[in-house]
Amino acid sequence: MTQTRKIPFGKPWITDAERNAVLGVLAGDVLTHGPQAHEFEKEFVAAIGGGHALTLSNGTAALHLAYWQLGIGAGDEVIVPAQTHVATVHAVEVVGARPVFVDCDRLTGNMTPEAIEAAVTARTRAIGLVHFVGIPCDMPAIMKTAAKHDLRVVEDCALALGTRWDGVHAGLFGDAGTFSFYPVKHITTGDGGMLVARHADLAQKVSKARAFGVDRTFAERSVPGVYDVLSLGINYRLSDINSAIGREQLKRLGTILERRARNFAALKSGLTGLEHVAVLDVTAANQTNSHYCLTAVLDGPLAGQRTEIIRRLNAAGVGTSVYYPHPIPRLAYYREKYREDLSRFPNAARISDQSIALPVGPHLEVDDMNYIAHELTKIVRDLTCSKKN
Ligand SMILES: *Cc1c(COP(=O)(O)O)cnc(C)c1O
């Protein structure tokens, strides 16, 4: 078969604006943690509509700092989704707390408020949720559960730049929201991250902890080299080079989200009525999906055919991915440490084993979506027909 197209799953959108911004920083005196990082934080707050933003070296650093600076540690339990990026759970593990896994909802891939409530024990200190591939969790209900049990809430928003519930951006409901600027995310800085805190005191703590626990910033030192260290800290800063790239990316966020929404709608409508293929999406009009990808879940006769379908899609030039290939309790480290009964996570296993993530990024056009829908439909028809024979 001649390959007619090449549709990569993800492709960073880098322009001359980013290139020039980097050269501008390199021509100046401050390469890290200077004016670019500071401006990026202010512009990020403006883009999402609130909070105190802190640039960090990556999304995992943001998650780690969130739990550490909220004082979560040994003896504490944190309720986490079974279906997520491993970093969501590693951050809990790294501070010495115990992750308590919860299965996700079949239609959205998210933890439900009811499932969270059922997992609360006397040792629960926090909820560490993820907005699955940009589909928002029911934050008003989850915050009620959190208030009832006096729990902290950390929102992993790595794929949720643009995600909203009742118009309020993801990351602004809980104590902290964490974002990632890894190359395939909505915007990139190469590597990079942001923590958004609802309260100034957490922001203050994170600001110190990301830079060795030093009590004053470089700019605040009246006498150079004179400072004190009042608390433990680490180096999780973001450089001005990365921050300058982020500022340019952020200017195109509106366009990026529009293109993703347009592509998602086109692809979803192209798959409507296709038997045994379900699309994960928001469930009501008050919810805004950031459209990281389109997750197609295969059922019935297609359930065991994922590898073959991916192979044929790839052969037709369509790049795909899987979010995520294993529920966390099934990964060797967690499996051996916690020995969870894996049958407790049927929806997570279903998404892990039977879903395909299809591309909807801003590098693609509606025409590409029609092509993907056409190819997938052809493959599905072919496989279901040969099954019946
Ligand atoms: C990418 C991602 C992370 C990790 O972010 P990094 O910037 O790569 O450290 C964490 N959680 C989720 C849900 C992610 O998609």
pLDDT (tens, 9 = 90+) of the chain, 389 residues, equals 556 789 999 999 999 999 999 999 999 999 988 999 999 999 999 999 999 999 999 999 999 999 999 999 999 999 999 999 999 999 999 999 999 999 999 999 999 999 999 999 999 999 999 999 999 999 999 999 999 999 999 999 999 999 999 999 999 999 999 999 999 999 999 999 999 999 999 999 999 999 999 987 767 777 877 889 999 999 999 999 999 999 999 999 999 999 999 999 999 999 999 999 999 999 999 999 999 999 999 999 999 999 999 999 999 999 999 999 999 999 999 999 999 999 999 999 999 999 999 999 999 999 999 999 999 999 999 999 865 54
Whether a cis peptide bond, with omega within 30° of 0, leads into 324 is yes
* Ligand 1 mean position, distance from CA 227 (Å): 33
Q: Amino acid identity, residue 300?
A: G
Q: How far apart, in whole angstroms, are the C-alpha atoms of residue 315 and residue 355? A: 18
Q: Which of 180, 191, 295 to mutate to test the pocket of ligand 1 (most atoms within 8 A of CB)?
A: 180
Question: Does the Cβ of 158 fall within 6 Å of ligand 1?
Answer: yes
pLDDT at 3: 64
pLDDT at 389: 45
Q: How far apart, in whole angstroms, are the C-alpha atoms of residue 325 and residue 307? A: 12
Q: How far apart, in whole angstroms, are the C-alpha atoms of residue 282 and residue 288? A: 7
Question: Does the Cβ of 88 fall within 6 Å of ligand 1?
Answer: yes
Q: Is pTM beyond 0.95 here?
A: yes
DSSP assignment letter at 379: H
Alpha-helical segments (H) within 210-290: 240-251, 253-271
Q: Take residue 69 and report the two structure tokens written for it.
A: 């600076």
3-state SS, residue 179: strand
Domains of the chain listed by start with CATH number? 16-251 (3.40.640.10), 253-388 (3.90.1150.10)
Q: Amino acid identity, residue 380?
A: V
Q: Take residue 76 and report the two structure tokens written for it.
A: 């504490």
Q: Which residue, 215, 227, 170, 354, is CA-closest to 278?
A: 354
Q: How far apart, in whole angstroms, are the C-alpha atoms of residue 260 and residue 186? A: 9
Which residue owns the Cα nearest ligand 1 atom 5?
A: 59
CA distances from 329 to 87, 97, 200, 289 (A): 13, 15, 35, 27
Q: Is 342 exposed, middle or buried (0-12, 13-18, 19+ CB in 10 A)?
A: middle
Alpha-helical segments (H) within the chain: 16-26, 35-48, 59-69, 86-94, 113-119, 139-149, 200-209, 240-251, 253-271, 306-315, 332-338, 346-354, 366-388
pLDDT at 216: 78
pLDDT at 348: 98
Q: How far apart, in whole angstroms, are the C-alpha atoms of residue 262 and residue 225? A: 52
Q: Annotate 200-215 with b (16+ C-beta within 10 A) or e (fewer).
A: eebbebbbbbbbbebe
Which residue owns the Cα nearest ligand 1 atom 2?
A: 158
Question: Does the Cβ of 182 fall within 6 Å of ligand 1?
Answer: yes
pLDDT at 225: 78
Which residue owns the Cα nearest ligand 1 atom 7?
A: 59
Question: Does the Cβ of 84 fall within 6 Å of ligand 1?
Answer: yes
pLDDT at 2: 57
Ligand 1 atom at shortest distance from the alpha carbon of 63? 10
**Backbone angles phi and psi of 115, in degrees to 5:** -65, -35
Q: Which residue, 229, 218, 217, 83, is CA-closest to 156?
A: 83
Beta-ladder partners of 234: none
Q: Take residue 341 and report the two structure tokens written for it.
A: 């009964």
Question: Does the Cβ of 58 fall within 6 Å of ligand 1?
Answer: yes
